[in-house]
Amino acid sequence: MHVLFPEHRQRTSDPDQRREYSHYLARQMGPMIHALMLMATLAYGVAVIASMLIRSSPVPLLLRLTLLLPLLLVAMAARHVWRPRVLSGLALLCVLLLEIGINLNSIGRLPGQPWVMPGLLLPVASSVIWLGRWDFAIAMALCALGPLPMLLLGAASSVQIFQYLVYMAIAISLSTVLRAFMARTLFEQFRLERQLREQASTDGLTGLLLRNRFLELGRLALGDICRQQKPACMLYLDADHFKQLNDDHGHAAGDAALVALAAVLRSQTRSGDLIGRIGGEEFALLLPGIDQPQADQRGEKLRLAVRAILRPDGPLTVSIGIAECRDADETIEALLARADQAMRQAKRDGRDRIVSAAQPCIT
Ligand SMILES: Nc1nc2c(ncn2[C@@H]2O[C@H](COP(=O)(O)OP(=O)(O)OP(=O)(O)O)[C@@H](O)[C@H]2O)c(=O)[nH]1
């Protein structure tokens, strides 16, 4: 089980990653599933018309061709769907419709048909097997069981049923092996892409968001806060006399202080807060749902917590600027700039303190 479904072992521990992976698969496989559905619909139409050349069927041609409409609708719907569950549901529905068609066409025992028509199922059924273990199991079960009514009601000989079983056993074993190796490759690709994205948006030293990513996420968060008409505050922190620490005790001591500072920031944040490393020894926190007095309290708690970090020459201190967003039109950049200005004022006032920004003029 572990060998055949390697991604299962790696995914189960992190539900977010699992959700992200199934969306990734749906994005990667969506266009292929749509194309295979269209091809299967076309192949079904061709098979029905071609079967007329072999022998007339007791089921009217129009009734057999009617299935083309739902098949086409399902294929068209798949083009606009990116949700993994819906996508695999549509693909399995397509397999089911094809099976109805195959069984309808087999009424009247058309010679040779039992070996040809089930072949229509395989492309669409095999297209969903990458999506998940259950999609795989259902698709294989549909492939194996779907054509059985045609064989049993059509009074196939025991030799024909034996041939069918061998044919299905080979098809399902092959799909299982292919799925195992493809799933491993797809998961590895997904993992590497995710790792690259994370590396590009987080700071290697502190693990905090880099400036661009902080602004990007902050912009989205600020939009949500404005829509809900809630307050929000930006804190801008800058470590004091950091150059002196580097110059006197080396960059390793400076790096250790930055890591400790980031750990304090993380320990003081609540769910929904955003923390970013904006520059060398500058950090920003976006606190949604927090007004100015509450932000002043949070800032003061932070300032005191940072003082517990000891550098070789004394406690590490920070200057903090706080800006509250009261204007729904204020951008994340403007809010950050006001918090930065307030932080500079804190530096001018003697450092190791908090200064609140003036409100912007609302015209
Ligand atoms: N060790 C280390 N130092 C860094 C890093 N990034 C920036 N710095 C240093 O941080 C120092 C910032 O110095 P300044 O901008 O002069 O500020 P400061 O010495 O803290 O003085 P004030 O901000 O006015 O209190 C510079 O010496 C940078 O080299 C880093 O990742 N690691």
Q: How far is the CA of 194 from the centre of ligand 1 (A)?
A: 31
**Does 240 sit in the ligand 1 pocket, CB within 6 Å?**
yes
Taking the centre of ligand 1 as the mean of its atom positions, its distance from the CA of residue 281, in whole angstroms, is 6
- Closest atom of ligand 1 to CA, residue 319: 25
ipTM value for the complex: 0.98
Three-state SS letters, the chain: CCCCCHHHHHHCCCHHHHHHHHHHHHHHHHHHHHHHHHHHHHHHHHHHHHHHHHCCCCCCHHHHHHCHHHHHHHHHHHHCCCCHHHHHHHHHHHHHHHHHHHHHHHCCCCCCHHHHHHHHHHHHHHHCCCCCHHHHHHHHHHHHHCCHHHHHHCCCCHHHHHHHHHHHHHHHHHHHHHHHHHHHHHHHHHHHHHHHHHHHHECCCCCCEEHHHHHHHHHHHHHHHHHCCCCEEEEEEEECCHHHHHHHHCHHHHHHHHHHHHHHHHHHCCCCCEEEECCCCEEEEEEECCCHHHHHHHHHHHHHHHHCCEECCEECCEEEEEEEECCCCCCHHHHHHHHHHHHHHHHHCCCCCEEECCCCCCC
Q: Is any atom of ligand 1 closer than 6 Å to the C-beta of 205?
A: yes
CA of 240 to the centre of ligand 1 (A): 8
Instruction: List the chain domain ranges.
Output: 6-199, 209-356
Please give the structure tokens belonging to residue 170.
């080979």
Average pLDDT over residues 88-108: 86
Q: Which CATH architecture has domain 209-356?
A: 2-Layer Sandwich (3.30)
Per-residue pLDDT tens for 307-357?
999 999 899 999 999 999 978 889 999 999 999 999 999 999 999 999 999
Residue 182 confidence (pLDDT): 82
Residues 229-278 have pLDDT tens digits of 899 999 999 999 999 999 999 999 999 999 999 999 999 988 889 999 99
Query: 187 pLDDT exceeds 60?
Result: yes
Tell me, in angstroms, the distance from the centre of ligand 1 to residue 280's CA.
6
The phi, psi pair for 283, rounded to 5°, reads -130, 155
Q: How far is the CA of 262 from the centre of ligand 1 (A)?
A: 15
> What's the chain's length in residues?
363
pTM of the model: 0.64
Rounded CA separation 299/291 (Å): 12
**pLDDT tens for each residue of 1-14:** 344 444 444 554 67
Which atom of ligand 1 lies nearest, measured to the CA of 254?
1
* Ligand 1 close to Cβ of residue 255 (< 6 A): yes
Q: What is the pLDDT of residues 276-299, one digit of tens each?
A: 999 999 999 999 999 999 999 999
Q: Is 132 in the pocket of ligand 1 (CB under 6 A)?
A: no
